[in-house]
Each structure stands twice: as structure tokens, then as C-alpha cells.
Structure 1
Amino acid sequence: MKLDMLVFSAHPDDAEVACGGAVLHYRALGRKIGFVDLTCGELGTRGTPEIRLREAAEAAQLLGLSTRLNLHFADGFFKNDECHQRKVIQVIRQYQPDVVLVNAPSDRHPDHIRAAKLVVDACYYAGFARLETYDERQTRQQNWRPKAIYHYIQDWWLQPDFVVDVSGHFEQKLRAAKAYRSQFYDPESIEPITAISDPSFFSRVESRAVEFGRMIGTRYGEGFLKTSMIDTNAFFDFR
């Protein structure tokens, strides 16, 4: 199954919070989109890997994803090496996305930074015809390089290269993110408080969306960073 967009994240819930609105925006335009979680978030303070996998499946339904898979890399300890790159390359070649989204290249969590570099490198190597990878049936895969890779913006403020209007999809984005009940504020939870389980967390998410939206004259926006020069002939399509 070829996808238009493949969204990678170091942990389940990274993408829902950071770019769920853009995913819903392009889903509404008929694009086929899939998610790839690198880890189960097993080092997270709250919840369990099993709970987070169930929550991820619920979030996938709310986003209307074509597929979602988890590569089960070691949370906190996965590396940008040949072994991990090959597994990411296999996924890229399997789904042949035109666009890839991935974690922020600079952020509070080291896993986000490492995931960003790992996926960018794997996207490049996936285009090498002489680099052999095989699918589950042991059939050699065709080389494939996505046309564009963009980073979504997470905890730290980063100046976006462009902003997507998500005004019509913001509430659904929040519903998808809040599918991770184990991770966010729950007045009945007895688990430890974390930075993202604080009651004010989603107020901060909304404030960020308002700030990005202000940049383009809309109510809500999500910002992205480019990894290479954007080529366009559409000067008059810009708003």
C-alpha cells in the first residue's frame, strides 16, 4: 500500500500533539497517511507499553490513518546506526511515501533529536539502489526516497519555516491526543505528575497553535521545519 505521507515519532503521542491537526487537514483532502512509532514509550513515568499501544490504536482511528505500526525500538536507547536505519528503510520502501514527517531536530527530549536524525538519514539511504532490503516475504524491495521531509515542532520553541492552517481540525486533534489517557491529566489517577500530565498542558498546546495561527492570519496553526530547500512554481497560490 503506497501512502502519501508517513509520520514517524519517537514515542506514541508525539505526533498527535505536534502535528495531529495537519494530519487531519490532509486526510480531509483525501491523502493516505500512516504513522510509525519507533518505541512503545516504555520508559514513560505513567502507564504501560500495553496501555499505550491500545491508546495509539484509538488515536489512529480518530485521525483516520491508513495504517499504524510500532518498530519496538528500545525507548531511550535506540541508536542511529545501521541496524535501526535498515528497519526504517524497510518501512519507507514498503509504503513509498512522498512526504515524511518526523520529530523536532532540537528539543527537550534526547529521543526526539535522535529520531529526527535517524529518519532523515534513513530516508536518504532508502534511495540507494545497491542497498538491499527485503520485505516479510523475503522479496527484495525497490529503492525509494521521499520527495520531502519535514520536522514538526514539539516542546521547545523553534521558528517554523512554514505553518499549516489547522483551524477546522483543532478540536479533533485534541481528541486524538487525549486518547492517551494514561499520559495526560486525569484527576482520578494516582500516578506521578509529569510535565505533560499537568492540567495546564493542553492550554499550552492551544497557545502554541494560536501563536502559529497568528503568523498566517488564522485561528490555529501548526509549524514545521524543512530539511532542504522548498521548490515551488506556485507563487500566486500563497496566502
Structure 2
Amino acid sequence: MTSLTSVPFPKLDVLVVAPHPDDAELGCGGTILKLRAEGKKVGVLDLTSGEPTPHGSLEIRASETARATEILGLDWRGNLGLPNRMLEHTLEARKALASLIRQLRPVWLFAPYWEDAHPDHVAATPLIEAARFWAKLSKTDMPGEPWHPARVYHYYCVHLKMVPQPAFVVDISDVWEQKIASIAAYESQFITGRTATPTFLERLREEAAFWGKSIGVNYGEPITSREPIGMKSLASLV
């Protein structure tokens, strides 16, 4: 995990912003792996520690995050240190996030889907979208030069029993085993103390297979966008 005080910051192509460590892996771990395979520089910023949880601790979660980061092959990962369970879209949080966007300079941002039962997830999305706007401001005491990511995509990592209506589905068939390994790295969250069958990880495989079937492949990952998506070519369509 890279310190937020590290200088210089790497210039990223993509920054995935997650309410808690494990949300990026759950919602768009496959897309991250695909982007890395294409040579894109990808980072993850966790907004909170994710703790306390029933079977976790700060030390356990940090170790699990480091393992997941290694599996994903991220170019950078940081934690904004905002309070878990009490995440709010405050001006202070917006400034802190906008400052990082100015220094990391990602072309794309990935944020959680805006509807959810988890208050932290619900608070994260408007925080990210507002920080995107603030990052381009001039005449400010925020570090770095003005920067405006061109796009915000939204990944699904929701606690609501809902069927997403994505803008597109990414074929993650060739990276599925890596994605599920990055999720399984969070043993305290998804394995310890869970006795239900099918297991949580088995359910995730079923969901990915559903989305894969929707586009005619083995495994898929749904992504959406509030803004229209432009295409220069249809060559990448499945």
C-alpha cells in the first residue's frame, strides 16, 4: 500500500474509488485485471479502513488488502482514512479526494453504483462526483494542477437485492480466477464464520456466469454510466 504522502504520485490511467477495501475487487476486479493486461496504469483508493467487522481488525484487513493488491497487480493503492460506517460527503472529504485526483491525474474514475442499502456506498458516489468537479478548479490551495477525469464509470457492489441494468458488460472470462482470488484474499470478510451453502464465493461465480451468459461468454462484469458512452469503432463489441 502506497502512502498518500509519497512524492511523486504516479500518473494513472484509471482510478477506482471504493468505500471499503474489498469493494473494488467485488465490483470491478475483473475490469481492473483487463485494463492492466492492456497496459493501463490502474490504482485503487479506498475511502475507509472497512473496520470494525465481526471477524476482522485493522491489521487483518491491511494484510488482506495487500494480498488482493498483489493479485490485481495494481500500480498504486491508497486509503483516504475517512471513518468507516460514518462516511459522509463533507467539504473536507471532497477537498482531500479532489487533491488526490489532481496529483494522480486519472483519465477515468470508477465509482460505486449510486443506489445501495449501505450508507457508506450511497455517500461515496456523490463525494466522488463532486471531487471530480473540484479537481479542475483554479485559484485554490489544493496541491497539484487542475485536472478533470474524462469519464466516471459505475461498478456494482450493492447490498440491495436488485438486478442491475448496466450500460455494458465486460468479458472477464480470462481473468475470472484472478478476480475471485483477489476477493478470497479478504478471508475475514467472505470466508471466516460463513456457513451458508452455496458459499458467498460460489454465489459470486453464479452472478458472473449470469452476466457472461447475457453477452455469450463464460463470465461477465456489469458496468454503467450516467453519461452517454461514445465509441470510435464497433470492433470491440462481443
| Matching residue within 76, 84, 90 for 2:85 | 76
Contact 1:185 1:198 in 2 (8 A): no
Secondary structure in structure 2 of the residue aligned to 1:44: coil
Contact 1:86 1:133 in 2 (8 A): yes
Which residues of structure 1 form unaligned runs of 5+? 135-140
2:180 partner amino acid: L
| Matching residue within 136, 141, 148 for 1:145 | 148
Per-residue deviation, 1:214? 1.6
Contact 1:125 1:131 in 2 (8 A): no
1:227 partner amino acid: R
Match of 1:177 in 2: 183
* Residue 167 (str. 1) matches residue 166 (str. 2): no
For residues 160 and 130 of structure 1, what CA distance do their matches in structure 2 show?
Answer: 38
Secondary structure in structure 2 of the residue aligned to 1:182: helix
Cα-to-partner distance string for 1:129-169 (whole Å, 9 max, x where unaligned): 234302xxxxxx10101111111012343211111110000
Per-residue deviation, 1:236? 4.7
For residues 198 and 127 of structure 1, what CA distance do their matches in structure 2 show?
Answer: 48
Match of 1:211 in 2: 210
Match of 2:69 in 1: 60
Cα-to-partner distance string for 1:91-117 (whole Å, 9 max, x where unaligned): 111110011111121122111111111
CA RMSD of aligned residues (A): 1.7
Match of 2:6 in 1: none
Q: TM-score w.r.t. structure 1 length?
A: 0.89
How many residues get paired? 226
For residues 131 and 120 of structure 2, what CA distance do their matches in structure 1 show?
Answer: 16
Per the alignment, do residues 59 and 237 of structure 1 end up closer, same or farther by CA in structure 2, a change over 3 Å counting? closer
For residues 139 and 229 of structure 2, what CA distance do their matches in structure 1 show?
Answer: 28
Q: TM-score w.r.t. structure 2 length?
A: 0.89
For residues 20 and 55 of structure 2, what CA distance do their matches in structure 1 show?
Answer: 13
Match of 1:158 in 2: 164
Give aligned-pair identity as a percent: 37
| Matching residue within 52, 59, 65 for 1:50 | 59
